[in-house]
Amino acid sequence: MASELSPIDRAKFLAAKQATEYVETGMKVGLGTGSTAAWLVQCLGEMVREEGLKIKGVPTSTRTAQLARKVGIEVITLDEAKWLDVTIDGTDEYDSDLTLIKGGGGAHLQEKVVATASDRMIVIADASKKVDTLGAFPLPVEVIPFGAKITKKLIEETLINMDVLGREVTQRMNGDVPFVSDEGNFIFDLHLKRIGNPQQLSLALNQIPGLVENGLFIDICDVVIVGHADGRVDVRDIDKDSDEVVRFDLRDDDNIFADLDD
């Protein structure tokens, strides 16, 4: 029931629930990674089981693939799909231009490849992800292990000439060992505090040898769906230049959350 979820989970769920309106039978759908995207996968799985929805999902990580299969979604590779109708994913930050920072889960490389191979990218989020200026959330970059220390030094030197407030670069760890992405690469987190020119920074970072991809998503996102704990959902469509407010009736006896934790 709605009352059993925390306010933040309720907001994430409502954003995910609204995003299912963009999915129709026969579609090939990119499935994002992270806590909000996991709600979306479970919502779609319920539609597959209960409503006969027929879709093919292209996951952006091994953990999303495992969840998708568990809830009954047919999983295929991006090469098998060739092109996607829509990708639905979460975000760590977004601004008024719908520029994103992604990669908190270490999957931004696959997420960006999948999103750019889609007709549309839908982002689902709670209200805390909206920022005036990007950069409070550390910007992830994926780096090949060979020469990683040199790549880190080149990143630090590049940041000197960028419009950022902080320049600390740290390697993401998994306990006592380096975090390794699904592609077998390391993740460095750039603690920039404020990013004044995301386009310039993205271009500069991706010119560094050994750096595979950064977590800035520029001109990729088409729609942002923001859930709120009170049942309100804000939908901003940058293509249509429109804003819409949807309201869910969250009565205590409403079982709209049924089966999501099974």
Kindly name the residue from 111, 157, 168, 183 that is annotated as catalytic.
111
Q: Average pLDDT over the chain, rounded to whole?
A: 94
Q: Which residue has the higher pLDDT, 221 or 247?
A: 221
| Annotated catalytic residue 111 | yes
* Full set of structural domains in the chain with CATH: 2-127+219-247 (3.40.50.1360), 139-214 (3.30.70.260)
Q: What is the predicted pLDDT for the residue at 251?
A: 63
Averaged over 219-240, what is the pLDDT? 95
**105 is annotated as contributing to ligand binding:** yes
Q: What is the predicted pLDDT for the residue at 240?
A: 85
Q: Which residue has the higher pLDDT, 9 or 249?
A: 9
**70 is annotated as contributing to ligand binding:** no
Q: What is the predicted pLDDT for the residue at 3?
A: 56
pLDDT in tens, 74-120: 999 999 999 999 999 999 999 999 999 999 999 999 999 999 999 99
Rounded CA gap, 250 and 243, in Å? 22
pTM recorded for the entire structure? 0.93
**90 is annotated as contributing to ligand binding:** yes
Annotate 74-92 with b (16+ C-beta within 10 A) or e (fewer). Answer: ebeebeebeebbbbbbbbb
Q: What is the predicted pLDDT for the residue at 210?
A: 98
Q: What is the predicted pLDDT for the residue at 254?
A: 46
pLDDT in tens, 3-26: 578 999 999 999 999 999 999 999
Rounded CA gap, 200 and 158, in Å? 11
Averaged over 118-146, what is the pLDDT? 98
Query: CA 142, 43, 48, 69 torsion: positive or negative?
Result: positive
Angle among Cα 93, 99, 103 to the nearest 5 degrees reads 50
**151 is annotated as contributing to ligand binding:** no
